Every structure is written in structure tokens, then in C-alpha cells.
Amino acid sequence: MEEAIQAQFDQAKHIVFLTGAGVSTASGIPDFRSANGLYTKDKNAEYYLSHRYFVSDPAGFYQFCKDNLYFPDAKPNVIHQKQAALTQQGRATVITQNIDGLYEKAGTKHLVNFHGTLERVYCEQCHQTVPVSDYLKSRLHASDGGNLRPDIVLYDEAIPEDAIQQSLAALSAADLVVIVGTSLKVYPFAGLVQYANPAAKLIAVNQEPLALPAGATMVTGDAVQFFDQLQVD
């Protein structure tokens, strides 16, 4: 860890983490676009995660979610834990594209689930929520036979308005923005960085280099190593 980077964290009062699937690969959840990623293995993954597909083939959608999205034994890693610690100190907000629930398990206090969460499941017919364990046993709501679905943002669905508002509020107050483990290919998430306070410093930590605005610091490498070394107290 470069001293200058540690100093930026030490001095920051309003850190915003913008994160993606690369935060959870060390917890055993594959990302989408790396060599082992879902999109690399299955070019139709974007279609299988659309509302169009959910409506046209509810059984196929259910099987795809169960086989590829749910990892009930996954545990938070040092990246989630150090970011959670900074939120508990009241110095950070996490805005994540991840839907895996690991930030909650790590005790993250100020968290925006930009693409929703797999941990909330509801019936599309009556909107009642059911436990995830029920969903993993059956795709149909026991009380009315409606199709159950996780509360995640599918490819042809809009980002919830409150997630956008909370993200913009955190970014406009930020003095340090840290992008971690995302290819920045999914919009509108990838455009959020433009709404950061112009005075905020920008750091990105990612296995592959990202195209960043001038003046930003790109740390190319494993985010586990970066957060292992980062002092947060």
C-alpha cells in the first residue's frame, strides 16, 4: 500500500465505494466478465436475466437464478469487512451493483443496493415477500400460485428511484471515491462517477485497468491484497 493512498483514506470524511462483482470473487461468487465469469461461459446470460425472459419462461428463469446466482454458503471477505468498518465509523457509504447480500452480512451501515438484492423475494402477483428458503424450494407462491422472483433489477427494468437519489446524495458530498471490482460496463451504474463532487479524489482498484478521468489513481491488481493492507482504524 502506497503511503499516499493510505493518507487519502486517513484524511477522508466522506468516502464513497462504487463496487461490483470483483468484490465477491474471493468469497467464491464468480463475476460476469472475467475468464470464469457467467457471461464468458454463456453469451445469453443477459437475456436469461431479463424481465422479458422471466415472463416468457418462468421455470427457466427460476432454474437459471438457482444455478447461477445463489451461493448460500458464501461469506464476506476482507474487502467487505474493511469497507463495512469504515461505514460503521460514519466515514463511508457503499454503493454496490452486487446482489449477493454479503455487505449486509459484513455489517455495512450505509449501503445502497443499486441493483437490488437476492435476499428479498416477492410474489409478482400479490407482492407479498417470502423467505429465500421458500423460493429455493419452489418458484410458486404457496398461497396464490403466483410466480416468485428475487428483488433484483433485471436487464430491462429501471433502477429504483430511491437508490438513484441516495447514490447522488452520497457522491455529491464525497471527498474520496473508490471504485472496486467492477468492469464499469453496466449503465447507469458506470455513469455514477460523473456525479461525484468535483473536489473528490478518485481511486480505482481492479484486476484489469479501467478508463478513468484525468487525475485518478488506478491500482491494477487484487482488491483482497489492497484491503488486507489498508488500515481502517
Shortest distance, position 199 Cβ to ligand NAD, whole Å: 26
Question: Applying CB under 6 A, does 150 fall inside the site for ligand NAD?
Answer: no
Q: Under rule CB under 6 A, which residues in 64-103 are in contact with ligand NAD? A: 97-100
Count of C-beta atoms within a 10 Å radius of residue 210: 17
Q: What does the per-residue mask of binding to ligand NAD show for 155-184, with x meaning CB under 6 A?
A: --------------------------xxx-
Distance in angstroms (rounded) separating the CA atoms of residues 54 and 143: 20
**Binds ligand NAD by CB under 6 A, chosen from 57, 144, 156, 208:** 208
> Distances from the Cα of 12 to the Cαs of 8, 174, 197, 219, in angstroms?
6, 9, 13, 18
Of 19, 25, 11, the C-alpha closest to 183 is 19
Of 83 and 183, which has the nearer Cβ to ligand NAD? Answer: 183
**In what order do the strands lie in the sheet containing 148-152?**
129-130, 116-123, 148-152
How far apart CA 57 and CA 161 sit, in angstroms, is 28
Task: Write down the least CB distance from residue 172 to ligand NAD, Å.
Answer: 23
- Cα–Cα distance for residue pair 120/190, rounded to 1 Å: 24
Which of 125, 197, 207, 217 binds ligand NAD (CB under 6 A)? It is 207
Site for ligand NAD in 14-53 (CB under 6 A): 20-22, 24-26, 29, 31-34, 37
SS3 177: strand
Q: Which residues make up the interface to ligand NAD (CB under 6 A)?
A: 20-22, 24-26, 29, 31-34, 37, 97-100, 115, 181-183, 185-186, 206-208, 222-224
